[in-house]
Amino acid sequence: MASNWMIYGANGYTGHLLASEAKRQGLNPILGGRNPAAVHALGSLLGLECRIFDLDEQARAREVLADIAVVVHCAGPFSATSAPMLDACLASATHYVDITGEIGVFEAARQRDTQARELGLVVCPGVGFDVIPSDCLATCLHQALPDACDLALGFDSGSGLSPGTAKTSVEGLKFGGKVRRAGVITDVPLGYKRRSINFGRGEKPAVTIPWGDVSTAYHSTGIGNIEVYLTTPPAIAILMRLIDPLRGLLGLNAVQNWLKGLIGRKVKGPDAQARERQRTWLWGEARNAAGQVRTARLQTANGYEVTVHGALLAVRHLLDYQGPGGYFTPSRLFGARCIEQLPGSGRIEIE
């Protein structure tokens, strides 16, 4: 069996962090991407092999991945890149993981379950901050309250944004909010619901966001009603509702290109000192029909540090993997408390 693994999109902000940490740990990935200058520059810096290919060229992608056991896909926007990378991985007998947080990408990957099972290959999107910590909270809450019918998750983070994450957020504006109701992903306005949440350092205002757990927490727990919250000042939450009717304009190519150009010029991603300083607090709440409630809290390292070490957890797991294929959420593949293995993470505490 192949023992090589690849970071595709290695020259991006998160890909670069992942490649550097992997090299430091002696894991020595092959660096992949479509930008020869940027990928080879990183390869020269780290002393790692590079392979240049475009996902639109499927024959070339399958050829390049023929000796690769695991791909960590880091090249967003995943709404455009996940499907062709998955096609190439399934055709070349390569396990697929990525660092997406996009609901549509999770749901599309879930549709590959039967094919992946037949091939004995793992498909596990979201092996970073999206969504390992919150997925673990969801599963632990379900274990604590097995008949829960409502699940709320949320996080309080100062992790900052990389250029890629910021651009993905801009792309998502046109789709509005998302929650799950009676098992079905449901469209809601931006800033749909607000509540005050104690994430572990006092009450803070929060608002619903279309986070990946609207997809993944359902597949991990079977709980039919799911909402995800982010700490947000009330004025910003109100602004979200006010701009919701303008989502059609925000989706226009000219507006999208202008916003992404602005991000490209202004957003660089947090540096090492900022990542060390900016930790994350997570919260979850499960409720059953009788009104019983269980609450969970967790503190982790900066979101980008969680992503780097979560991806490396996935690589180690899959390079030695002997289990069945199929679509997995992180908690189903690595265990309900796998977040506790990552540097900087505390324990999940359930009340």
Which pLDDT tens digit goes with each residue over 220-233?
A: 999 999 999 999 88
The residue that leads in pLDDT, 303 or 263, is 303
Place of tokens 């969970």: 296
Residue 158 main-chain phi, psi, to 5 deg = -115, 30
Q: What is the pLDDT of residue 304?
A: 93
For CA atoms 124, 128, 134, 139, give the dihedral sign.
positive
Which pLDDT tens digit goes with each residue over 284-305?
A: 999 999 999 999 999 999 999 9
Q: Which amino acid is at 266?
A: K
Confidence of residue 324 (pLDDT cuts 50, 70, 90): very high
Confidence of residue 213 (pLDDT cuts 50, 70, 90): very high
Q: Which residues pair with 295 in a beta bridge?
A: 285
Mean pLDDT of the chain: 91
Which pLDDT tens digit goes with each residue over 60-98?
A: 999 999 999 999 999 988 999 999 999 999 999 999 999
Question: For the chain, what is the radius of gyration of the CA atoms?
Answer: 19
Q: Where are the alpha helices (DSSP H) in the chain?
A: 13-24, 36-46, 58-64, 78-91, 103-110, 113-119, 132-144, 163-172, 213-221, 234-243, 247-250, 253-266, 272-277, 303-319, 330-334
CA pair distance 68, 2, nearest whole angstrom: 6
The residue that leads in pLDDT, 59 or 76, is 59
Indicate the domain borders of the chain: 4-129+304-335, 132-302
Once rounded to an integer, what is the mean pLDDT over residues 29-39? Answer: 97
Q: What is the pLDDT of residue 162?
A: 53
Q: What is the pLDDT of residue 263?
A: 61
Angle at CA 140, nearest 5°, toward 136 and 142?
A: 120
Q: Residue 150: in which H helix or E strand, if any?
A: strand 148-157
The answer to whether 11 touches 42, Cβ cutoff 8 Å, is yes
Cis ω before 245 (30° cut-off from 0): no
Q: Is residue 138 pLDDT above 70, yes or no? A: yes
Query: Distance between terminal CA atoms of the chain?
Result: 45
156: helix, strand or coil: strand
CA pair distance 163, 42, nearest whole angstrom: 18
Q: Which CATH architecture is the domain 4-129+304-335 placed in?
A: 3-Layer(aba) Sandwich (3.40)
Q: CA nearest 210: which of 181, 187, 232, 238?
A: 187
> What is the CATH number assigned to the segment(s) 132-302?
3.30.360.10
Q: For 183-248, give the DSSP string.
A: TEEEEE-TT--EEEEESSSSEEEEEE---THHHHHHHHH--SEEEEEEE--HHHHHHHHHHGGGHH
CA pair distance 11, 32, nearest whole angstrom: 8
Which pLDDT tens digit goes with each residue over 163-212?
A: 665 566 666 667 789 999 999 999 999 889 999 999 998 999 999 999 99
Residue 300 main-chain phi, psi, to 5 deg = -130, 175
Q: CA nearest 300: which of 114, 158, 139?
A: 158
Cβ-based neighbours of 115, under 8 Å, separated by 6 or more? 90
